[in-house]
Structure 1
């Protein structure tokens, strides 16, 4: 995997905190959900807000900012918890291979580009397959297994 991490600024952190709080309370904004993962070093549970992409009955989470802390933690833990505080459930995860990301990233961009523009390695919904394949190694994508 190529390493890229588009670290959020203070304003983005504040907005993410608000959306995370809402997701933990069970309020989804445009498909957001709370994702909790155990820290790979501290062992503490960390919660972020993610967009869950469902394709053919399978759920995926994408880290558009690149190799973020939650993506690194999820990769090591092999499992995440998804949902509001009172109804969280554990899901095993598997990282999607780079060559299988093109369609998933295209669907993700079609649905959430308005939210993640500027943080997906220069991709847009109009990006061609070759452009997506070139950036795919910098965007972790995980399938949440049943």
Structure 2
């Protein structure tokens, strides 16, 4: 398994993520944003972070553009969590997508959010060949989301 992680900078942590999370908590989705809540794998405490909810062929996915970050480790341990938008809370289970199945999902994600997250994909974009998307797939966890309530 890849250990790729690209940590966010000061502006992202202290300004951008906080603004997006604030808006999302108040019910304003920014390009599909949600607040992901997942139990910490060690503490059991709820951990939250803003995420982009991707929908492809009626199925929902979470993609980790920065790689194998804390929420991805927690998601593997917890097997699901909550997606929050304002007062709406969707509880879900999560299944990690195999690297061989990620190329069309990464392409769709980059088509929608390349301006926001493209820098984390090593020069690969929505118009890149499938081979390039398969090459970076191990660096970007993807989870299929099944809403349970």
TM-score by length of 2: 0.93
Q: Please, which runs of 5 or more residues in structure 1 have no aligned partner?
A: none
2:6 maps to: 6
- 8 Å contact from structure 2 (residues 28, 86) kept in 1: no
Matched ranges for 1:1-146 at <5 A: 1-13=1-13, 14-146=15-147
Alpha-carbon distance in structure 2 between the residues aligned to 1:125 and 1:23: 26
Alpha-carbon distance in structure 2 between the residues aligned to 1:92 and 1:121: 30
Q: Please, which runs of 5 or more residues in structure 2 have no aligned partner?
A: none
Kindly report the root-mean-square deviation, in angstroms, between the aligned alpha carbons of the 2 structures. 1.1
- 8 Å contact from structure 1 (residues 121, 138) kept in 2: no
Runs of 4+ in structure 1 over 2 Å off: none
- Larger mean Cα displacement after TM superposition, 13-22 or 81-90: 81-90
Q: Alpha-carbon deviations, 1:19-38, whole Å to 9, x = none?
A: 01111211111111111101
Alpha-carbon distance in structure 2 between the residues aligned to 1:21 and 1:74: 22
TM-score by length of 1: 0.95
Alpha-carbon distance in structure 2 between the residues aligned to 1:142 and 1:46: 17
Aligned residue pairs total 146
Shift of 1:3: 1.1
- 8 Å contact from structure 1 (residues 35, 83) kept in 2: yes
Shift of 1:121: 3.5
